[in-house]
Amino acid sequence: MTLTARVVSGNEVRVPDPQAGEVTVISRYGKERAMLIHPDDFHRLDELDRMLAEAAGLTPLKPSPEALSAHLEEGAPGEPITDPAVLAELFG
């Protein structure tokens, strides 16, 4: 999942100064509530995330003209057997 950045003005919140390479974990009742990281780290992680997503994406394959015609011809019905006499002979 690509990260979305939500910008909040520094005047609205009080946060400790983030240091590069360090994560400040804000906990509440013993549980991780938020994490504060340095902008350089965020952009590095975001870039890694994008690169991984790109690497994980599959390169589409294009069928050859021969494969396309095989798909069409084998997917199109021919002349069905409808003669009751022939059907009776086949299925009793």
> Exposed, middle or buried by CB within 10 Å (0-12, 13-18, 19+), for 2?
exposed
Work out whether 51 is an interface residue with other proteins (CB under 8 A): no
Task: Residue 70: count other Cβ atoms within 10 Å of its Cβ.
Answer: 12
Which CB sits closer to other proteins, 60 or 84? 60
Residues 54-83 touching other proteins, rule: CB under 8 A, are 56-64, 66-68, 70-71, 73-78, 80
Does 50 contact other proteins by CB under 8 A? Answer: no
Task: For tokens 């509440």, name the residue.
Answer: 28
How does DSSP classify residue 76? S
30 binds other proteins (CB under 8 A): no
Chain residues that interact with other proteins, rule: CB under 8 A: 1, 52-53, 56-64, 66-68, 70-71, 73-78, 80
